Amino acid sequence: MAIGRRIGLDWSDVTPKSVWMSRRSLLVGAGSMMLAGAAQAKMSGAPSAFSTDEPPNSLEDITTYNNFYEFGSGKEDPSNNSGNFKPQPWAVQIDGLVDKPGSYGLEDILANAALEERIYRFRCVEAWSMVVPWVGFELSALLNRVGVQPSAKFVAFETVVRPEEMPGQQQGILDWPYREGLRLDEAMNPLTILATGLYDEALPNQNGAPIRLVVPWKYGFKSIKSIVRISLMDKMPPTTWNMLNAREYGFYSNVNPKVDHPRWSQASERRVGGGFFAKRVDTQMFNGYGDEVASLYTGQDLTKDY
């Protein structure tokens, strides 16, 4: 069963109670010591039928084991080095083939958003995975609001460039800004969200504050963080990892246990937090979201068009 139909179930129901209680007091304690404001705001969302019923990873797993090369390439670099990043004020430039281009402030985006909790499996191309209780809204809602023109076929995204706040950008690890893209039908799929929170709190810096993409049937690198620009285009946009090594990182990069990475198998994955002796789990086609997205790729050979 790919996705639990779990309307009415709160994530706390699927998290061991002791974990939930200690996490709760931790968050409350931390929050009261900080200044009020969007960065510490409550960020709750309505439950969704798209959530998995698998237990979410702990807040600690999700916020200390990250990929965010703007803060360094080590898994602990984003949590260690993102303390000076300022996710507010924030605006997203939306341009290209849209009726209402412009700079949209985060408050304005949130005021017009129907926030939901989406508990999604998350599978990195490096063959580890987690389950994350995101709070966010469907990208399609924002795109419909700005009016996508009929000639648009792709959506391009860019991460902010702020070397003074993002030490990894002072090095040439990647070609900044980090860029990603989706085909328009992928962007409009209801599973595709812009996340602004996790575990009922505003998104931590290391997870892509204040707004990041989450595309749960694709490898994690497609889920671009700290977005400042969304462009509607008629051509496939250049994307960071694909530009760096197209043989290893395709534009589509749908999770696919049958298409190995040239340097490792994609048939199974390590669930982060499972402990050293935990068994690897089988990787699922489209990360288990095939019922929702397989039809997007009818007629496409995903072994060649990866």
Ligand X SMILES: Nc1nc2c(c(=O)[nH]1)N[C@H]1C(S)=C(S)[C@@H](COP(=O)(O)O)O[C@H]1N2
Binding site for ligand X (CB under 6 A): 66-70, 124, 159, 178, 207-208, 220-221, 223-226
| Closest CB 56 distance from ligand X, rounded Å | 12
Mode of pairing for the β-strands spanning 154-159 and 193-198: unpaired
- Return the exposure string of 169-186: e unless at least 16 CB atoms fall within 10 Å of the residue's CB, then b: beeeebebbbbbbbbbeb
DSSP 53-69: -SPPPPHHHHHHS---G
Query: 3-state DSSP helix/strand/coil percent for the chain, to nearest 5?
Result: 25, 25, 50
220 binds Mo ion, rule: CB under 5 A: yes
Q: Which does 71 bind (CB under 5 to 8 A by kind): ligand X, Mo ion, none?
A: none
Output 67 or 189, the one with its CB closest to Mo ion: 67
221 binds Mo ion, rule: CB under 5 A: yes
Q: Are 181 and 236 in contact (CB under 8 A)?
A: yes
- 123 Cβ contact partners less than 8 Å away, ≥ 6 residues apart: 129, 219, 220, 255, 269, 283, 287
Q: Which does 232 bind (CB under 5 to 8 A by kind): Mo ion, ligand X, none?
A: none
Site string for Mo ion, 20-59 (x = CB under 5 A): ----------------------------------------
67 binds Mo ion, rule: CB under 5 A: yes
Output 15 or 206, the one with its CB closest to Mo ion: 206
C-alpha 258/C-alpha 24 separation (Å) is 40
Per CB under 5 A, contacts with Mo ion among 72-131 are 124
Mode of pairing for the β-strands spanning 154-159 and 227-233: antiparallel
| Closest CB 67 distance from Mo ion, rounded Å | 5
Q: Which does 66 bind (CB under 5 to 8 A by kind): Mo ion, ligand X, none?
A: ligand X
Residue numbers of the site for Mo ion (CB under 5 A)? 67, 124, 220-221
